[in-house]
Amino acid sequence: MKTRLVCLFAALFFTAPAAALDRPRKIVDYSIEVSLDQDRKTVDGRETLKWTNPSDVPVAELRFHLYWNAFRNDRSTFFKESGGHLRDDEADTEKGWGYTDVTSMKWDGDELVKGARFESPDDGNPDDRTVLVVPLPRPVAPGETATLAITWKAKVPKVYARAGYVRDFFMFGQWFPQIGVYEPKGRRRRTDSGWNCHQYHANSEFYADWGDYRVRITLPEKFVVGSAGALVDSKRAGGLKTLTYEQKSIHNFAFTADPRYLVVEDVFDPAKDIPAGEIARASRTLGRSEADLLAGFRKVAIRLYLQPDHRAFDRRHIEAQKWALAWTGLWAFPYPYAQISIVDTPEDGTGATGMEYETIYTTLSLKWMSHWPFTRLFVPETVTIHEFTHGYWMGLLASNEFEESWMDEGINTFTEMVMVDRKYGAYVVVPPGIGITSEESNRVSALTQDHDPILADSWKYATENSYGRNSYPQPGITIQQIRNLLGEETFWRAFRGYAERWRFDHPTSEDFFDAMRAPGNSHVAALIPKTWYGRGWLDFSILDVSTRPDDGFTGFDDADKPVNFDPDPKKKPKKKPDEKKHKGPWQSLVVASRDGDIELPADIVLTFKDGQTVKRTWDGASGWIKYRVTSSSPLVKAEVDPEHRTVLDRNPWNNAKVTKEYEGPSAARKARVYGFHLVQILLSSLWAIL
């Protein structure tokens, strides 16, 4: 009864979020003018920043991110951590360096730059220049808005980590002096107000306050520009053009420029582009009417900035984008902006590929994937879906990626798995139709030893691989485990509840956990500390399985009378009956085991020779469980978790054992024959040379 009440409360809580916001709290307002010198790869910028102190305490100093100083030299924290290699790209250590220098910062006529200093709050690196601390002549009072006039100059780095140039392709991300986040007490469960302004790390992304942006870009006329905002003004003079973009309610502004872009325009129309089957599924699962689910949808302009050698990918990206808009709109909430821009990066600028910004992101196209037999490698589609959906888990639910990277990457990996597998059926398919799903490709991570918990500051993981594993597939798969534990309806209602509650806000890990714990599933509650705060693992296995004829009572009875045997040592013992002719009953033994520190329930299925099956659910609390079964038919197989619902299982290959009574065809023989043929194919191919 108590559990039911908890569930009822949880259902009410999720359907009516207590403190969801209709729009974000506006903290910043940027008005930026920037001009690009294409040949020297330099930028001159001016910005007027209006920053409002969101706390109830005065703020005596401001903190700014100067992200491009990560590429200033080989002493920066970013360079030391990355070693000049990141995102399958290499830093150009001859000519590729970049920087941002703030030349002036004025508030009420006072020049602030003179007193400014660089700090390295994360690692104390005295050579890092990515966090600028600016003491103020007087504190900014609570609720007061300070208007700062900032000028800066920058050298664009050769791209190897998200932002930069290659030839005349430019990606401007984290490119302007951006104020850090002053978190008021209570924001993200803080107990006191203070700055949250981390250095730029190789394995970290970003965190910023919401606000409005007006950006005026001047550059040579030949460039095609795509940006986070809507184009509101365009002027041309002297071979240059000045484009003005505006976007409200975002927390970063990115743009791209390349003279070679082909612009493909399309419109996401909810009336046409949301599959009817998906609406019905969402309505049924979420317990909401279709009209309710469709109420917030609007048309969205899609602009694809395509490299000319990637023409073949235009529909692939557009269709993937439309599907992502439909799916996220149904299962989280409808996309609130009027446009989305997709940037297709050149193949010699892979460092800029697959990066999310708000209302704009970079995707991946590789020309060889447009030719048979690679056309069903759904990698470009997956990247499009993945990067767009970042716009939700990083963008609209503005988590702190420095400290909780999984909240963006992990949740995003989970939704990507669902979207890709539902739309395409697989992540990659190769002839002759062999496919691997997105979920499977991510589940592989659970099969090997982990070195870190999921939750850690992004620069504190043991290795770059460990950061990758614990930010992307591990949390994605763990959320999938929670989904399997809660069941479809409960999980998706909790999931959508989380999304709606924290839209336009800054959730923490615990906010997500609260949403998942609320339905009252004790296994979920126990799983969270083991995985997010620990390195928990588990491995189900069948330790032992046997079956033998039950010949009834054999031995001496209570009256010392021999039963079923002759105690006379001179007489030959009776010949053992042929087991194959035994009509029953049969005695069988099954021992199942759970190794590791995560306790999860699992089904155990016993299959008998006559085709009958018996299913038992084991709570997984003990280290092992033993079943003794008497049956009319011999046991042929015992299997734990036959539906593979325990996606965190470290070794699925020990989940079953067969007895000698099993008479099915041999998979090993089949595999050997195909393997043998594979060797023969490879060998005979050598005849072409030898």
Partner 1 sequence: MSAIGSGLSSALRHRRLAGVLWLSIVASALVAFLPLRSATEILDSGPFRESLVKGWDSWGVLSLLVVRRHEIGLVVAAFLGAAVFFGLLQVFLTGGTLRVLISGEPRRVFARVVAESAVLFKANLWATARFALSSLFWLGLLVVLPCAGLQKLAKHAPPHGGAATTLFWWALLGGLLVLFNTGLRFDLARIALARGDARNARGAFRVAKQRLSGRRASGIRLLLFWLALFVLVQALFTGAGLWMNPRTNGAVAMLFLFRQAGFFLLAMVRVGFWATLLAWEERRRANYSVMGRASGGATWNASAPISASAPASAFPETGSSVTTNGSALLSS
Tell me if 88 contacts partner 1 by CB under 8 A. Answer: no
**Environment class of 553 (CB within 10 Å of its CB; exposed 0-12, middle 13-18, buried 19+):** exposed
* CA dist., res. 326 & res. 422, Å (int): 12
Q: Which of residues 452-481 bind partner 1 (CB under 8 A)?
A: none
DSSP string, 288-306: --HHHHHTT---EEEEEEE
Tell me if 451 contacts partner 1 by CB under 8 A. Answer: no
Binding segment for partner 1 (CB under 8 A), chosen from 154-162, 229-237, 625-633, 651-659, is 651-659
- Complex with partner 1: residue 238 or 665, whichever CB lies closer: 665
Instruction: Give me the least distance between CB of 155 and partner 1, in Å please.
Output: 18
Give the alpha-carbon dihedral of 426, 430, 435, 441, to 10 degrees.
-80
Question: What DSSP character marks residue 261?
Answer: P
- Complex with partner 1: residue 225 or 326, whichever CB lies closer: 225
Q: Indicate the residue type of 292.
A: D
Among 309, 319, 421, 550, binds partner 1 (CB under 8 A): 309
Cis check: omega of the bond before 585, within 30 degrees of 0: yes
Tell me if 12 contacts partner 1 by CB under 8 A. Answer: no
- Complex with partner 1: residue 114 or 672, whichever CB lies closer: 672
Among 15, 42, 218, 437, binds partner 1 (CB under 8 A): 437
Tell me if 276 contacts partner 1 by CB under 8 A. Answer: no
Tell me if 450 contacts partner 1 by CB under 8 A. Answer: no
- Complex with partner 1: residue 348 or 566, whichever CB lies closer: 348
**Per-residue x/- mask for partner 1, residues 247 to 266, rule CB under 8 A?**
-------------x------
**Contact in structure between 164 and 101 (CB atoms under 8 Å):** no
- Rounded (5°) CA angle 504-351-93: 125
Instruction: Give me the least distance between CB of 688 and partner 1, in Å please.
Output: 6
Instruction: Give me the least distance between CB of 84 and partner 1, in Å please.
Output: 19
Instruction: Give me the least distance between CB of 225 and partner 1, in Å please.
Output: 18
Among 12, 271, 291, 689, binds partner 1 (CB under 8 A): 689
Tell me if 372 contacts partner 1 by CB under 8 A. Answer: no
Tell me if 287 contacts partner 1 by CB under 8 A. Answer: no
Tell me if 611 contacts partner 1 by CB under 8 A. Answer: no
Among 639, 646, 648, 661, binds partner 1 (CB under 8 A): 639
Among 1, 12, 271, 690, binds partner 1 (CB under 8 A): 690
* CA dist., res. 39 & res. 23, Å (int): 41
Question: What DSSP character marks residue 580?
Answer: G
Instruction: Give me the least distance between CB of 364 and partner 1, in Å please.
Output: 13
CA-based R_g, the chain, Å:
31
Tell me if 510 contacts partner 1 by CB under 8 A. Answer: no
Strands of 564-648, DSSP E? 586-596, 602-608, 613-618, 624-631, 635-640
Region for 405 from its dihedrals, namely left if φ exceeds 0, alpha if ψ lies in -120 to 50, beta otherwise: alpha
Binding segment for partner 1 (CB under 8 A), chosen from 149-157, 401-409, 559-567, 636-644, is 636-644
Q: Which residues of 569-590 are buried (b: 16+ CB within 10 A; e: fewer)?
A: eeeeeeeeeeeeeeeeebbbbb
- Complex with partner 1: residue 617 or 684, whichever CB lies closer: 684
For residue 579 the two structure tokens come to 């087991």
Place of tokens 């009572």: 553
**Contact in structure between 632 and 585 (CB atoms under 8 Å):** yes
- Complex with partner 1: residue 253 or 427, whichever CB lies closer: 427
* CA dist., res. 42 & res. 155, Å (int): 4
The dihedral built from the CA positions of residue 397, 401, 405 and 408, taken in this order, carries a sign that is: positive
Within 8 A by CB and 6+ apart from 67, the residues are 100, 130, 163, 174, 175, 178, 200
* CA dist., res. 301 & res. 313, Å (int): 18
Backbone angles phi, psi at 343, to 5 degrees: -105, 120
Site size with partner 1, rule: CB under 8 A = 58
Q: Which of residues 155-184 bind partner 1 (CB under 8 A)?
A: 167
Tell me if 675 contacts partner 1 by CB under 8 A. Answer: yes
Tell me if 1 contacts partner 1 by CB under 8 A. Answer: no
Tell me if 656 contacts partner 1 by CB under 8 A. Answer: yes
- Complex with partner 1: residue 281 or 645, whichever CB lies closer: 645
Binding segment for partner 1 (CB under 8 A), chosen from 129-137, 329-337, 436-444, 494-502, is 436-444
Among 436, 462, 563, 621, binds partner 1 (CB under 8 A): 436
Instruction: Give me the least distance between CB of 373 and partner 1, in Å please.
Output: 12
Among 432, 552, 569, 573, binds partner 1 (CB under 8 A): 432
Instruction: Give me the least distance between CB of 684 and partner 1, in Å please.
Output: 5
Backbone angles phi, psi at 656, to 5 degrees: -145, 155
**Environment class of 336 (CB within 10 Å of its CB; exposed 0-12, middle 13-18, buried 19+):** middle
Tell me if 683 contacts partner 1 by CB under 8 A. Answer: yes
Instruction: Give me the least distance between CB of 355 and partner 1, in Å please.
Output: 19
Within 8 A by CB and 6+ apart from 497, the residues are 13, 14, 15, 17, 515, 518
Within 8 A by CB and 6+ apart from 334, the residues are 270, 296, 297, 298
Query: Pick from 318, 323, 325: which is nearest to 391 by CA?
Result: 325
Tell me if 95 contacts partner 1 by CB under 8 A. Answer: no
Among 131, 443, 512, 522, binds partner 1 (CB under 8 A): 443
Tell me if 367 contacts partner 1 by CB under 8 A. Answer: yes
Binding segment for partner 1 (CB under 8 A), chosen from 174-182, 197-205, 397-405, 666-674, is 666-674
Tell me if 376 contacts partner 1 by CB under 8 A. Answer: no
Q: Which residues lie near partner 1 (CB under 8 A)? A: 167, 260, 307, 309, 346-348, 367, 426, 432-437, 440-441, 443-444, 447-448, 639, 642, 644, 651-658, 664-677, 679-690
